[in-house]
Each structure stands twice: as structure tokens, then as C-alpha cells.
């Protein structure tokens, strides 16, 4: 393939157009030359212009431009923006609804937990109140029982004391009768024989003076219990027996007195040489 075949085809009427163009340029040059030299020629002259039709070059055939391809419809940015705003609003509403639901559930859980705690506290309070009432009732019953027991004990002690006093009085009267009988008198007599038959004033002290050193008792110096004992004697002063007529609050003191009497074995005679068959003595740690 040659280069001539590759060139585009020549336009129709190109030669004619070139010829006319050359003629027109020649005439233009002549006119310019005459215009420069007209002052040198004094002869009158006239000037005429000749015009001829200038051939027009045919314009190339216009070809219809190719139809543009239909452009894809541009998206409406405002619609997109509105859609995005609506989506964001829906998202926010959904998040708010989720947050509200979560908060509602949390509040409900807290309310239920608080309700459970209140019920538990109420049950614990009821249980504590019940225990406290039962404890108070038991203490009241114990106090009543203790009071009743104390009253019964006091009544028994009073009865025992009364009976002991009656026994002592009877024993004293019996001793007086025996002593008076030994002296040849009668109970209630006021004669010299009855007066002389009674123990001397210091005889009881002499008896205690012999028994007391034999008492072994840890005296703590707080209490001073009183023990009343009965001592039975033979005519020679030998101790035939002893017993507690009225016990003291301290049993150790009572036993210590009885042991001391047993250790003494015999008691001294009175100033008149006689020994009473029965003696009732009282002993205290501090006299």
C-alpha cells in the first residue's frame, strides 16, 4: 500500500479555488503598487475597480455528529442527603429505643432486687422480733419461776426456822426441867435450888474457849455465819454427841464446828463441879 492511497481524498473544486485566489492576490498587489506611486504621475487619471465574482470554495459536507450515548441519570444528592438523614434519624431512634429498653430493664431489675431485699429484711425483722418476744417471754417465765421458787424457799426456811425455834424452845424447857430435876426443883420454880441449878454466867464462855481453838475454817473476812449446835454431855463432862440445830448459810462452817467438838472429847465442869447434860451453843467465826 502506497502513501498516496493513505492520504484522504482531495476536496472537489480545489484547483479552481486556488486559481481564483492567485488572481485575487495579483490584483491586490497591483493596487497596492499603484497606490504607492500615484503622486509621481501628474497626468489626470481615473481609477476604476473591477470586481469579479469570487469563486467560493464549497464547504465540506457536514456529517451528522454521532448521537451521544445516554448518560446515566445522576443521582439526586438532595434525595441522597435526605435518605441519609432519615437513615441516621432512624438509627438514632433505634439506638434511643434500645437504650430506653435497656434502662427500663435495668430499672426493673433494680426494683425487683430492691423488692427482694425489702422482703428479706422484713422476714429477718419478723424473725428477730419473734426471737426477741420468745426470749422475753422465757425470761419472764424464768423470773416468775425464780420468784415462785424463792417464795417457796423463803416459806420453807421460815417454816423450818419456826419449827427449829419450837424444837429449841422445847429442848430448852426440857433442859430446864432436867436441871431443875437434878437440883430437886420443879419447872417454873423460883427458889434458891432452881437458881443454884442453872449454869454460871461464864460457863458457856469457858466451853467455847475450849472448842474454838480446835475449829479449822478459812475465814475470808466477808461473811460471819452463825451455827447453833446441841452438845450432849455425860456427868463427868465427856461429850456424848453433837448435832446442828440451826444450820448457818455456810455448810463448811457447820462441819468445822462439829469436828472441833469431836476433837475436844470432854468439856470442863462448871464452878460448882457439875456438868449440864445438854448444852446449846452458838458459834460465829468472829465473836
Q: What is the pLDDT of residues 234-286, one digit of tens each?
A: 988 899 999 998 888 889 999 999 999 999 888 888 888 888 888 888 998 88
CATH number at residue 266: 3.30.1150.10
231 and 261 share a domain? Answer: yes
Q: Give the structural domain span for 121.
A: 87-184
pTM exceeds 0.75: no
pLDDT at position 195: 42
The three cell numbers of residue 189 are 420454880
Look at the chain and report how many structural domains it folds into: 2
Q: What is the pLDDT of residues 215-233, one digit of tens each?
A: 898 877 667 888 999 999 8
The three cell numbers of residue 213 are 481453838
235 and 177 share a domain? Answer: no
The three cell numbers of residue 231 are 452438845
Amino acid at each position: 500500500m502506497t502513501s498516496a492511497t493513505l492520504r484522504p481524498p482531495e476536496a472537489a473544486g480545489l484547483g479552481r479555488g486556488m486559481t481564483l485566489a492567485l488572481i485575487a492576490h495579483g490584483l491586490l498587489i497591483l493596487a497596492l503598487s499603484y497606490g504607492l506611486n500615484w503622486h509621481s504621475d501628474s497626468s489626470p487619471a481615473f481609477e476604476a475597480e473591477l470586481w469579479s465574482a469570487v469563486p467560493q470554495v464549497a464547504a465540506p459536507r457536514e456529517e451528522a455528529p454521532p448521537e451521544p450515548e445516554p448518560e446515566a441519570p445522576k443521582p439526586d444528592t438532595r434525595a441522597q442527603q435526605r435518605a441519609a438523614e432519615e437513615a441516621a434519624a432512624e438509627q438514632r431512634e433505634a439506638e434511643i429505643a434500645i437504650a430506653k429498653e435497656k434502662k427500663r430493664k435495668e430499672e426493673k431489675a433494680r426494683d425487683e432486687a430492691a423488692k427482694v431485699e425489702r422482703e428479706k429484711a422484713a422476714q429477718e425483722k419478723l424473725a428477730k422480733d419473734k426471737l426477741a418476744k420468745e426470749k422475753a417471754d422465757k425470761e419472764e417465765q424464768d423470773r416468775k419461776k425464780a420468784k415462785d421458787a424463792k417464795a417457796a424457799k423463803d416459806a420453807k426456811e421460815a417454816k423450818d426456822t419456826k419449827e427449829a425455834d419450837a424444837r429449841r424452845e422445847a429442848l430448852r424447857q426440857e433442859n430446864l426441867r432436867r436441871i431443875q430435876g437434878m437440883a430437886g426443883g420443879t419447872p417454873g420454880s423460883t427458889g434458891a435450888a432452881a437458881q443454884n441449878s442453872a449454869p454460871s454466867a461464864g460457863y458457856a464462855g469457858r466451853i467455847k474457849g475450849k472448842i474454838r481453838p480446835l475449829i479449822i475454817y478459812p475465814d475470808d473476812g466477808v461473811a460471819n455465819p452463825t451455827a447453833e449446835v446441841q452438845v450432849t454431855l455425860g456427868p463427868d463432862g465427856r461429850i456424848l454427841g453433837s448435832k446442828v440445830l440451826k444450820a448457818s448459810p455456810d455448810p463448811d462452817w457447820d462441819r468445822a464446828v462439829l469436828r472441833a467438838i469431836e476433837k475436844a472429847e470432854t468439856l470442863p465442869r462448871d464452878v460448882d463441879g457439875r456438868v449440864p447434860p445438854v448444852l446449846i451453843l452458838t458459834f460465829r467465826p468472829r465473836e
